[in-house]
């Protein structure tokens, strides 16, 4: 909320400089014009694909697909089009700089047509990257013309998220409606919900295997979150009570494992736990209390140990931040009011540190649902979780990528619901 | 006499000269992009090639065929790739591979006809066979009871023995495990009959409790060498790799040995292929030819532990590899893994999920 209000405020102040927005839009139009001119010059002078349609030169994807488009209409048609585009963009830029209202309308129309052309271009040629770059420029023109500086500031991140988040997410969604083929590709000709139906149908003698796998993974992730919370809370409390110098050192110590890759740290645990590992050697050769090595790897215990070890810092850090900021006078007040230590913890401290608990739990829970490395290395591949199933669908020869995508969608939706419920709960508690 | 010697010499020199002109080097590109399995070549050979011919090689590795397939399908520009049998078939069907020009790979004459005529590319029209092998069982040489066949993994009584004496590793690979169980039952490894597959599933579920590890990624390094287990479902080359790394005075040929199960099993082969997108085809062919120089082929086999398709490389093998060379009867018992139709793929995948998710 606050950011929107601030940007509105900023927008009001910038209102006086409306012309500046139009001028920025003009620069963008010229940039777009420059692309056409460069394409035209390259096509005539350097790699003459426009003049010799048959040449096998190294063409950029945009040029190659434009050439293919033009092949049925003659190359001149494309050349003329480029020239026209360049003229329109340059003229539009000049007009916009004069600050006329009509120019702004014209530019809006020009940008809208541009977006439509980009979509058409993608649909015909399937050249995604070029279409996206061009569309981003058209979008930029629109954003400048709205004279909304908030939108303008957000635009780069919107484009970034659009490319690297929204598009992949929707591709997964689209894949999940298709059908995996024997060749390892996905056939999208007859979209339907069959993959989701398969997810919910029994398999062989084992019942609802896929639901079981999801439930098992969620349970392990929950157990991990709970253990992390139980270990991290007292530790964060103690850490927050240390003198400042000590606190910084402790903080460093918590962070140091982050500097090493999780895979390497997990393998380190393997060396400690395995049959000829440190613990077994110590118990057998030094203490002599056992004569057969303990089997500690490939167990649920080893898996949970690895998970807790890997994700504990994500729980400690947010907890520490909230506990450190906790106003101690509240605790004093509660004991002044004859609360027992247990009561003041339960009724005062816990609600006040709830934001840290929630943040930490989400930071631990979500990655541990998707965990794959730890479960495979320390679980020895014996405990089969969602990560293994996804690998089976995407990385093995009999996998069905469409089915795997459906699994991914379900997982994303479950996470989303879980996070939302959690936030709701947290809010109620915090204000109770 | 002297004169005739001289003329003979001249003739010989001329002949050599002419043939070398006739075989004049094609102009090589300055770089080459290779995409191979991890640790599936002797890098020394690659480095030698770089120095000898001035070609800078960029060497990337993949951990699974699907990873490689996805990248090539997305248009990655590699010049030489090393897919396995069924993947070659798939890539040929999807028109992703260029045909290798055999005139540029004269060393193809060293490759056994049997390898050249593998089902996925008869006559090696597209690709040149690289290495091949069979799936079997690796065992620790100190074991009293030497395994003979798949019953060591699937017969509960036998499996319990090995589990008690140190443990068993199984390949975490759908096709391999179910195929092994099918062979144990006497069926084909490309079975599509649901009844037979369910039988195989039940055999596996009965024996599963005796298996300590499910690892197909790095078991030869992480599990075999440290003797976490005494028996492992294993690709022959990986067993040899573990043997090479456990050589000592007491065990000059390493502590791990391989058996080809008496019931038969899976046979596989990797090929060297050139993707259609490669702009450096001639250089790629030149490189492939270099790798099939018998000594170079043997160097890669001695390094990786896998048998070369190059029959003339055998004389340069290390003892462990010479011991691995299977007899003709062994090979005859083996079966190629073939692609399944969509319905059977689904069936296999579901059975595998049941196996993996159980317990």
Q: Do A205 and B354 touch (CB under 8 A)?
A: yes
Q: Do B222 and A270 touch (CB under 8 A)?
A: yes
Measure the CA–CA gap between B91 and B190, rounded to whole angstroms.
Answer: 20
Question: Smallest Cβ distance to B66: which of A181, A275, A399?
Answer: A399
Instruction: Tell me the chain A residues in contact with residue B356 when contact means C-beta distances shorter than 8 Å.
Output: 384, 388, 392
Q: What does DSSP say about strands B274-275 and B307-308: parallel, antiparallel, or unpaired?
A: unpaired
**Which residue out of B356, B358, B359 would a mutagenesis test of the A interface target, given it has the greatest number of A Cβ atoms within 10 Å?**
B356
Residue B198 and residue B304 in one domain: no
Each residue of B116-153: pLDDT tens digit? Answer: 999 999 999 999 999 999 999 999 999 999 999 999 99
**Which residue out of A197, A303, A398 would a mutagenesis test of the B interface target, given it has the greatest number of B Cβ atoms within 10 Å?**
A398
CA distance B99 to chain A (A): 20
On whether the CB atoms of residues A383 and A303 are closer than 8 A, the answer is: yes
Structural domain count of chain B:
2
Residue B349 and residue B223 in one domain: yes
Instruction: Assign B187 to helix, strand or coil.
Output: coil
Question: In the predicted model, is pLDDT for residue B15 greater than 90?
Answer: no
Instruction: Tell me the chain B residues in contact with residue A397 when contact means C-beta distances shorter than 8 Å.
Output: 65-66, 86-87, 174-175, 339
Residue B114 and residue B143 in one domain: no
pLDDT at A5: 61
User: How is residue B341 annotated by DSSP?
Assistant: P
Hey, what are B316's tokens? 């340069």
pLDDT at A245: 92
Instruction: Tell me the chain B residues in contact with residue A203 when contact means C-beta distances shorter than 8 Å.
Output: 350, 353-354
Instruction: Tell me the chain A residues in contact with residue B352 when contact means C-beta distances shorter than 8 Å.
Output: 392, 398
- Count CB pairs under 8 A between chains A and B: 97
What angle (nearest 5°) sits at the alpha carbon of residue A427, between those of residues A422 and A429?
95
In chain B, the residue whose alpha carbon lies closest to the alpha carbon of A389 is B353
What helix, strand, coil percent values describe chain A, rounded to 5? 80, 0, 20
Residue B192 and residue B207 in one domain: yes
pLDDT band at B8 (very low <50, low <70, confident <90, very high): low
In chain B, the residue whose alpha carbon lies closest to the alpha carbon of A292 is B166
pLDDT at A181: 86
CATH of A202-431 given 3.60.150.10, 3.20.20.210, 1.10.3720.10, 1.20.120.160: 1.10.3720.10
Q: Do B226 and A274 touch (CB under 8 A)?
A: yes
Each residue of A83-141: pLDDT tens digit? Answer: 899 999 999 988 888 877 888 888 899 999 999 999 988 888 777 888 888 898 889 88
More confident residue, A421 or B173: B173
pLDDT at A68: 72
pLDDT at A259: 86
pLDDT band at B1 (very low <50, low <70, confident <90, very high): very low
CA distance A78 to chain B (A): 26
pLDDT band at B24 (very low <50, low <70, confident <90, very high): very low
Question: Smallest Cβ distance to A204: which of B339, B341, B350?
Answer: B350
Measure the CA–CA gap between A350 and A323, rounded to whole angstroms.
Answer: 10
Residue B217 and residue B338 in one domain: yes
Range of the domain at B189: 133-267+326-357
pLDDT band at A46 (very low <50, low <70, confident <90, very high): confident
Q: Do A380 and B213 touch (CB under 8 A)?
A: yes
Phi-psi region of B254 (alpha: psi -120 to 50; beta: other; left: phi over 0): left
Residue B289 and residue B331 in one domain: no
φ, ψ (nearest 5 deg) of residue B256: -115, 140
Instruction: Report the run of H or E that residue B271 belongs to, with start and end.
Output: strand B266-272
On whether the CB atoms of residues A398 and B345 are closer than 8 A, the answer is: yes
Instruction: Tell me the chain A residues in contact with residue B94 when contact means C-beta distances shorter than 8 Å.
Output: 183, 185
ipTM of the complex: 0.79
Question: In the predicted model, is pLDDT for residue B359 greater than 70?
Answer: no
Of residues A228, A222, A197, the one with CA closest to residue A210: A197
Percent of chain A having pLDDT more than 70? Answer: 91
CB count in 10 Å sphere of residue A81: 16
Q: Do B90 and A400 touch (CB under 8 A)?
A: no
Instruction: Assign B61 to helix, strand or coil.
Output: strand
Residue B252 and residue B300 in one domain: no
R_g of chain B, CA atoms, integer Å: 23
Q: Do B172 and A181 touch (CB under 8 A)?
A: no
Each residue of A176-226: pLDDT tens digit? Answer: 999 988 888 888 888 899 999 999 999 888 889 999 999 999 999 999 999
Instruction: Tell me the chain B residues in contact with residue A382 when contact means C-beta distances shorter than 8 Å.
Output: 212-214
In chain A, the residue whose alpha carbon lies closest to the alpha carbon of B74 is A185
In chain A, the residue whose alpha carbon lies closest to the alpha carbon of B357 is A384
In chain A, the residue whose alpha carbon lies closest to the alpha carbon of B169 is A380
Q: Do A396 and B173 touch (CB under 8 A)?
A: yes
Residue whose token pair is 């927050």: A240
Q: Do A204 and B69 touch (CB under 8 A)?
A: no
| CATH code of residue B93 | 3.40.190.10
pLDDT band at A6 (very low <50, low <70, confident <90, very high): low
Residue B213 and residue B305 in one domain: no
Residue B126 and residue B225 in one domain: no
């Amino acid at each position: 909320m606050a950011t929107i209000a601030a940007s509105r405020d900023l927008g009001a102040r910038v209102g006086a400089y409306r012309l500046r927005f139009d001028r920025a839009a003009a620069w963008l139009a010229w940039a777009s014009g420059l692309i056409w001119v460069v394409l035209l010059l390259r096509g005539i002078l350097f790699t003459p694909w426009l003049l010799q349609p048959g040449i096998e030169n190294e063409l950029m994807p945009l040029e190659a697909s434009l050439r293919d488009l033009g092949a049925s209409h003659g190359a001149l048609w494309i050349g003329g089009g480029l020239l026209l585009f360049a003229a329109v963009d340059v003229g539009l830029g000049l007009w916009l700089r004069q600050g006329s209202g009509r120019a702004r309308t014209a530019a809006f129309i020009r940008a809208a047509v541009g977006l439509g052309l980009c979509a058409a271009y993608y649909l015909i040629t399937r050249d995604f990257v070029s279409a996206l770059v061009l569309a981003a420029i058209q979008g930029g023109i629109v954003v400048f013309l709205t004279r909304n500086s908030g939108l303008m500031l957000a635009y780069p991140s919107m484009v970034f998220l659009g490319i690297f988040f929204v598009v992949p997410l929707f591709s997964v969604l689209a894949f999940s409606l298709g059908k995996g083929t024997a060749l390892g590709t996905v056939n999208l000709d007859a979209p339907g919900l069959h993959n989701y139906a398969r997810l919910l149908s029994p398999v062989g003698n084992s019942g609802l295997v896929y639901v079981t796998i999801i439930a098992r993974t969620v349970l392990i992730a929950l157990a991990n979150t709970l253990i992390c919370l139980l270990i991290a809370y007292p530790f964060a409390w103690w850490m927050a009570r240390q003198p400042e110098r000590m606190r910084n050192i402790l903080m460093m110590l918590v962070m140091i494992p982050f500097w090493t890759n999780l895979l390497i740290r997990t393998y380190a645990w393997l060396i400690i736990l395995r049959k000829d590992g440190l613990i077994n050697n110590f118990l057998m050769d030094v203490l002599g209390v056992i004569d057969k090595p303990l089997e500690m790897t490939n167990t649920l215990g080893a898996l949970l140990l690895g998970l807790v070890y890997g994700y504990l810092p994500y729980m400690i850090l947010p907890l520490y931040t909230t506990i450190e900021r906790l106003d101690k006078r509240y605790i004093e007040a509660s004991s002044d009011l004859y609360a027992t230590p247990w009561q003041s913890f339960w009724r005062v401290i816990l609600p006040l540190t709830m934001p840290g608990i929630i943040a930490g739990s989400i930071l631990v829970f979500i990655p541990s649902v998707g965990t794959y490395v730890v479960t495979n290395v320390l679980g020895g591949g014996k405990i089969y979780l969602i990560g293994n199933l996804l690998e089976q669908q995407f990385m093995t020869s009999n996998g069905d990528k469409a089915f795997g995508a459906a699994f991914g969608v379900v997982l994303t939706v479950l996470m989303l619901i879980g996070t939302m419920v959690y936030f709701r709960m947290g809010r109620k508690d915090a204000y109770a | 006499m002297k004169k005739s010697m001289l003329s003979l010499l001249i003739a010989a020199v001329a002949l050599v000269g002419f043939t070398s002109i006739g075989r004049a080097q094609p102009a090589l590109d300055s770089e080459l992009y290779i995409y191979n399995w991890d640790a599936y070549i002797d890098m020394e050979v690659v480095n030698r090639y770089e120095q000898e011919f001035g070609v800078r090689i960029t060497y990337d590795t993949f951990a699974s065929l699907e990873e490689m397939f996805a990248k090539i399908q997305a248009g990655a520009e590699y010049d030489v790739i090393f897919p396995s049998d069924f993947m070659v078939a798939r890539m040929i069907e999807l028109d992703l591979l260029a045909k290798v020009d055999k005139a540029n790979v004269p060393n193809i004459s060293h490759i056994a006809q049997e390898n050249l005529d593998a089902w996925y590319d008869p006559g090696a029209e597209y690709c040149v066979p690289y290495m091949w092998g069979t799936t079997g069982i690796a065992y620790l040489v100190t074991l009293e009871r030497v395994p003979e066949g798949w019953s060591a993994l699937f017969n509960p009584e036998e499996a319990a023995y090995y589990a008690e004496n140190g443990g068993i590793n199984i390949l975490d690979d759908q096709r391999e495990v179910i195929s092994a169980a099918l062979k144990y039952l006497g069926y084909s490894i490309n079975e599509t009959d649901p009844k037979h597959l369910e039988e195989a599933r039940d055999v596996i579920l009965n024996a599963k409790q005796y298996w300590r590890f499910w690892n197909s990624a790095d078991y030869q390094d992480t599990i075999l060498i440290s003797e976490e287990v005494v028996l492992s479902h294993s690709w022959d080359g990986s067993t040899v790799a573990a043997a090479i790394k456990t050589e000592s005075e007491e065990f000059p040929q390493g502590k791990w040995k391989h058996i080809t199960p008496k019931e038969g099993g899976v046979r596989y082969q990797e090929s060297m292929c050139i993707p259609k997108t490669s702009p450096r085809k001639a250089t790629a062919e030149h490189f492939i030819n270099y790798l099939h120089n018998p000594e170079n082929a043997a160097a890669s086999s001695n390094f990786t532990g896998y048998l070369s398709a190059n029959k003339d490389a055998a004389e340069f093998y290390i003892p462990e590899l010479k011991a691995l060379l299977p007899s003709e009867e062994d090979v005859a018992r083996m079966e190629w893994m073939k692609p399944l139709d969509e319905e059977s793929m689904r069936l296999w995948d579901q059975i595998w999920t049941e196996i993996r998710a159980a317990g």
